[in-house]
Amino acid sequence: MANETNTAPAENEAGTTDSADEATTEPSGEVSHVTDPKATIKIEGQTFELDASLAQEDKTLKVVLQPHFASIENANITREVKDGKLSVTIVKRAQHKGHAEL
């Protein structure tokens, strides 16, 4: 119990052996099958590597990247695991422009 990650109980009951499903891609953003210590981050037309442990949660990723990419605060973040490598795509969301009613 002390070594568990933040996964839903239903996911833990479905199967706890990571080695059998390493090459699967989870569309829901499940990152339990990540075996590569580095993740690929794609944001604003740039691609770079970051520790996978920092890229697994939105909150942590936003804290790490906020000083470099201000647009991450309201961005859509999607994750994909392919062949044990985490790939994170960040697309900034358009913000409302206009004036406030007086």
Asked if residue 13 has pLDDT above 80, the reply is no
Tell me the per-residue pLDDT of 75-85, one tens digit each, with 9 for 90 and over.
Answer: 999 999 999 99
* pLDDT, averaged across the chain: 75
Cβ atoms of residues 36 and 52 within 8 Å: yes
Distance CA 65, CA 92 (A): 13
Which of these, 44, 60, 51, lies nearest to 86 by C-alpha position? 51
The pLDDT value recorded for residue 73 is 87
For the entire predicted model, the pTM comes to 0.60
Tell me the per-residue pLDDT of 37-86, one tens digit each, with 9 for 90 and over.
Answer: 999 999 999 999 999 999 999 999 999 999 999 889 889 999 999 999 99
The pLDDT value recorded for residue 93 is 84
Helix or strand (DSSP H, E) at 13: helix 9-14
The domain locations on the chain are: 22-91
Residue with more model confidence, 23 or 37: 37
Alpha helices in 34-90 (DSSP H): 52-55, 58-65
Distance CA 1, CA 43 (A): 35
